[in-house]
A and B are shown apart, each in its own frame.
Chain A
Amino acid sequence: MNLAYYPGCALHGSSNDYEQSLRACLGTLDVELKEIDDWICCGATAAHSLNQKLAIALPARNLALAENKGFHEMLAPCPMCSMQLLKARKELGESEALRRSVSEIVELEVHGEVKVLNLIQLFESIGLDKLKAAVKVPLSALNAACYYGCLLTRPPEVVEFDDFEQPRSMEKILAALGGKTVDWNYRTECCGAGMTMASEQTVLDLSHKILTNAKQHGANCLVVACPMCHVNLDMKQPNIERHYGVKHAMPIYYLSDVVGLALGFTPEALGVNRHFVPGAASSADLQVSKPAAGLKAGATAKDAGAK
């Protein structure tokens, strides 16, 4: 597979561990990523909050940059970026006048035909059975709460991905990797998004609720596919624990982390050791210890003799 790659500012900034893990695991899955030359910021929250024109123009330029290099598909691992790109693509597709006007603004002819994929969609594209066949370390010790956040599934008429009330696409990938997932109630509740700097209390309150609910439903880790969510749930976890006086100790994995770990990469190779909340230190941590062959778990030596 050959596709354009739009990292976005987060993956080259404080969430470069996300890029590390996705480059590692996609490499073994025959996916070639070509970073879009001279890409610019998609505008994130600031653009759509302060200027609607910018919110369309900035992602539009990136669509054009990918198209001009002949790409039909691009990977945008950050859902803020992928949502903004999809929104621009949709609006430009619906109005020829808008398309022309935006093309003038960004000084590139934008057609808006390149497909934008999030990381989950990329794994689905690779194929879950292919993924399953490549698993070297089944993640049997993982009891994950798959956390989607806001922008992977919303607004539904823009992103058109998964069931926006009860999404299950990540759970299916975890199952292919031999991991278990929990049924919990905060899959699509907001973590506080871009308020990390401007209103930290918002993030602490919302992310605390997410971590609490995951634990209440028996999860031993969270799996995310968004760098913003990762920052709020991982980097801010110590602050949450301090503020609420609780110990969550909940590792937050990127989806590419769990895929990479299942494919046999070490946590260091994937950047898992760079998280704030310690995750798996080795592949032994990922697996429930297996009993000796021929005996059922919990059987005694007497049973073995009687056989």
Chain B
Amino acid sequence: MSRIGVFICWCGENIARTVDVDEVARLVAEFPGVRCAVNYKYMCSDPGQAIVRDKIVSERLDSVVIASCSPHMHLRTFRSAASLAGLNPYRVEMANIREHCSWVHPNRAQATAKAVQLIRLSVEKARRDHELEPIRVPVTRRALVIGGGVAGIQAALDIANSGYEVVMVERDPSIGGKMAGLSETFPTLDCSQCILTPRMVEVGQHPKIKLYSYSEVEAVSGYVGNFNVSIRQKARYVDIKKCTGCGECWNACPLKRNPSEFDYAMGMRPAIYVPFPQAVPARPVIDAKVCAKIIRNGCGLCLKKCKAEAINFHDQDKLVEEKVGAVVIATGYKLYNIGKVQDRPKLEGYGEYGYGKYKNVIDSLQFERLLSASGPTVGELKRPSDGAQPKSVVFLCCVGSRDNAKGLPYCSKICCMYTAKHAMLYKHKVHDGQAHVFYMDIRAGGKGYEEFVRRAIEQDGAQYYRGRVSKITEENGKLIVRGTDTLAGEPVTIEADMVVLANAMRPADGVEQLAQKFNVGYDEYGFLLESHPKLRPVETASAGVYICGACQAPKDIPESVAQASAAASKVLITFSASELTREPEIAKVNEDTCAACYTCLHACPYHAVEQAEVRTPRGVFVKRTARVNPGLCMGCGTCVSVCPSKSADLEGFTEQQIYSMVESLV
């Protein structure tokens, strides 16, 4: 016979004003199996919890029903209270008579009647509750960091410096990401590579970081604490262990004029190349799409020159397996390339700006490379068409951003700041030059940011026009920029030597496929979804998988670094014990009755059902069965609903419980 205790909360006035709590207590006490029904002003308070604990002991209760607010609020509170009194925490039920009753029904009589019914349901459920134990899952205390930009580097260093091994996967030949290609960073105008390369070197040399460069994540299986990751190491055609980085090969390579990816086609590189001098690893890679040896068995000069015998034209992609317990995704961003055919039909492109048609219309990352001291023009500002020094440069903000008609509706956050920076750096290089900036608003919310933008205007003489540009054409080597200034209400036409477009920030290519491998959601733009936009910015819906940096949303370097450390801290929480506990309200298959049809396996959205075998203690095969992996199952109940033999059921929410709850109402 059940011994159920019902505890009805007034929640101050929130419940008691509408629901007659005394009447409810009186009626509920009549339910079969209910030993006591009490009401109190604030059940969740210390005295309230004390009442629950005392009653559990004095009435020898075997189940408890709390009729109060939503379980999202205080289920944990009451489970702890029950635990302290010696009652299994999974024998605690909550009837929501606030959000589902007093807060939505104004009529006192009706609300009271409904509260009684809600409690009736919970009592029925509680009657058939069983003791359950939390599930313990072992943790592999190694982390995977995907992406070797500043965010990935920060996360990897934080985790590695805490004593745990990190596997880092970067798809480019070198780590460093976009930040390695910038010239100077706002608001300090620090040389970007100077502040980043020490970190890059630290990653490259760290005893606890295993770097897979020029590699990508191929496949993932498993669950938090126990991920199996398959990594594809792409063929470099160079053995980086043998290679000494001497440079004989890339100096000898005759195919010198391939557009450099690192320089965003502002400069050239050979077929065998290191992307930039400070690369980590500082070892070359061969571009198989252009190498004469690979395509038609010609050349082979690099092979002859290499004293370390590190060149291997028979190299192939390799797949390696790594086991990790947590994953940090830090795949970064790319710029919206408005000159090319788009991956989405709506992003038609901006034919009016002439990007791709006029050589001197470039985007902001290309401009960074032209400014950079280690760039293709060695820090001298030379425009792409003829190498002349531009005396007037026009900067366009919001290209592709804040554009509902044929771009992306969101703000890319960093462009106002880097455009001010570009205007300043331009002036520092070309003292008699004039920068013109067309903007819609100035978004400069960070520390020292507003002052930085004012410096560009007041000290470095950048001319700011509030308005967008309608069209850019080229006449006699000059770019005719037709814009406006809405503050004066005048059209503005400028003859420029060069135009720099602040294109929108988008997530890096391939992020959607990667997200699907990890069951991480993404929005319509491809930005990865955080668990909660305010309170959980680095966690995802997938336990053990964290995100940081620009892959989550447009942001600048300090924010990326902060989020990276945040993600690292979440990983460290995951690693803080050798075991993880999970809630036991998950599915379970009755292996006696299971027919191994595996409908549940195919229906499970979390891939939590496995094919298993039942064997005798001596190992003789008896039958096949479905088995739920307690580490992966999220308790959604899909398998329960599709199982034809009713072998699958949910612990803590069995079919029996549901049927009896429904019957109790009818």
Contact = CB atoms under 8 A, between A and B. Distances in A.
A185 B352 contact: no
B474 interface: yes
B473 interface: yes
Contacts, number: 13
Interface in A187-231: 213, 216
A143 B53 CA distance: 96
Contacts of B357: 166
Interface in B348-391: 351-352, 357
Interface in B457-498: 473-476, 480
Contacts of B351: 163-166
A185 B480 CA distance: 10
Nearest to A183: B357
A213 B351 CA distance: 19
A165 B473 CA distance: 11
13 contacts: A163-B351, A164-B351, A165-B351, A165-B352, A166-B351, A166-B357, A185-B473, A185-B474, A185-B475, A185-B480, A213-B475, A216-B475, A216-B476
Interface string B496-539: 00000000000000000000000000000000000000000000
A166 B352 CA distance: 8
Interface in B121-176: none
A182 to B, nearest CB: 13
Nearest to A166: B351
Dominant secondary structure at the A interface: loop
Interface of B: 351-352, 357, 473-476, 480
Interface in A106-147: none
Nearest to B473: A185
Interface residues of A, number: 7
Nearest to B353: A165
Nearest to B472: A185
A164 B471 CA distance: 12
Nearest to A185: B473
A163 B352 CA distance: 11
Residue of A163, A165, A166, A216 with most partner-chain B CB within 10 A: A165
A165 B351 CA distance: 5
Residue of A164, A166, A185, A216 with most partner-chain B CB within 10 A: A185
A213 B473 CA distance: 11
Contacts of B476: 216
A164 B480 CA distance: 19
Nearest to A186: B473
Given A164-B351, A185-B473, 11 more contacts: A163-B351, A165-B351, A165-B352, A166-B351, A166-B357, A185-B474, A185-B475, A185-B480, A213-B475, A216-B475, A216-B476
Nearest to B476: A216
Interface in A139-196: 163-166, 185
A110 B262 CA distance: 59
A62 to B, nearest CB: 31
A165 B348 CA distance: 11
A164 B349 CA distance: 12
Contacts of A213: 475
A165 B480 CA distance: 16
A165 B339 CA distance: 13
Contacts of B352: 165
A213 B474 CA distance: 11
Contacts of A166: 351, 357
A257 to B, nearest CB: 27
Contacts of B473: 185
A165 B353 CA distance: 9
A166 B474 CA distance: 14
Contacts of A165: 351-352
A251 to B, nearest CB: 23
Interface string A249-281: 000000000000000000000000000000000
A185 B481 CA distance: 12
B407 to A, nearest CB: 14
Contacts of A185: 473-475, 480
A166 B351 CA distance: 7
A231 to B, nearest CB: 25
A216 to B, nearest CB: 7
A119 B62 CA distance: 87
A72 B480 CA distance: 44
Nearest to B352: A165
A107 B474 CA distance: 52
Shortest 4 CB-CB distances between A and B: which pairs? Answer: A165-B351, A185-B473, A165-B352, A166-B351
Contacts of A164: 351
A163 B341 CA distance: 13
A188 to B, nearest CB: 10
A166 B339 CA distance: 13
Nearest to B480: A185
Contacts of B475: 185, 213, 216
A185 B351 CA distance: 12
A166 B350 CA distance: 10
A164 B352 CA distance: 9
Interface string A60-87: 0000000000000000000000000000
A165 B471 CA distance: 9
A283 to B, nearest CB: 34
B269 to A, nearest CB: 31
A166 B473 CA distance: 11
B235 to A, nearest CB: 40
A31 B475 CA distance: 41
Nearest to B357: A166
Contacts of B480: 185
A164 B350 CA distance: 11
A216 B474 CA distance: 12
A253 B473 CA distance: 25
A183 to B, nearest CB: 9
B583 to A, nearest CB: 52
